[in-house]
């Protein structure tokens, strides 16, 4: 087998292994569930888990990786770690996240968007909507 064929096979294998993995520096983290419970004591583990699963699904991350995200992780920070060559979030991940937030929680990402928005701020909007607070506020 030629060197080129071996390199191509290695590249294909590497790509297959990387699909669904969260990018560094998130990958090296342990579970951040304790931070989520501390930040949102009135939210159940199930509510937090469902929100993180929705987020992970939008970005095609593995379900086992969802607990590695913290409430203070910025959406654009995660987006840029996944797509370092793109500066403006006009991607299928953000569109999928916006669609799922609308479908599942009736939260319009475009209405609450802020460049510094964190996962925790987004979850707070979800919780507010679930409690019946229909008005939108800007998250910092």
Which of helix, strand or coil describes residue 74?
strand
Which of helix, strand or coil describes residue 118?
strand
Q: Please give the backbone phi and psi of residue 118, each rounded to the nearest 5 degrees, phi first.
A: -105, 165
Tell me the pLDDT of the chain averaged across its residues: 80
Q: What is the pLDDT of residues 6-65, one digit of tens each?
A: 443 333 333 333 445 566 678 888 999 999 999 999 999 999 999 999 999 999 898 888
The encoded tokens of residue 123 equal 């979850």
- Look at domain 3-130 and name its CATH class: mainly alpha
Contact (Cβ atoms closer than 8 angstroms) between residue 108 and residue 65:
no
pLDDT at 28: 86
The confidence band for 70, taking pLDDT boundaries of 50, 70 and 90, is very high
Domain ranges of the chain: 3-130
Q: 106: alpha, beta or left, given left = phi > 0 and alpha = psi -120 to 50? A: left
**CB-based burial label for 20 (10 Å; 0-12, 13-18, 19+):** middle
What does pTM read for this prediction? Answer: 0.76
Residues 6+ apart with CB under 8 A from 75: 89, 94, 117, 118, 119, 122
């Amino acid at each position: 087998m030629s060197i080129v064929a071996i390199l191509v096979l290695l590249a294909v294998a590497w790509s297959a292994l990387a699909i669904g993995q969260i990018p560094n520096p998130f990958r090296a983290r342990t579970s951040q569930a304790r931070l989520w419970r501390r930040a949102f004591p009135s939210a159940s583990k199930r509510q937090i888990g469902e929100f993180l699963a929705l987020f992970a699904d939008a970005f095609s991350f593995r379900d086992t990786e969802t607990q590695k995200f913290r409430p203070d992780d910025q959406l654009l920070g995660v987006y840029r770690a996944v797509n370092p060559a793109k500066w403006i979030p006009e991607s299928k991940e953000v569109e999928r996240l916006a669609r799922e937030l609308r479908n599942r929680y009736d939260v319009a990402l475009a209405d609450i968007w802020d460049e510094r928005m964190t996962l925790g701020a987004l979850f707070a909007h979800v919780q507010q909507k679930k409690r019946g607070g229909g008005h939108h506020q800007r998250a910092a």
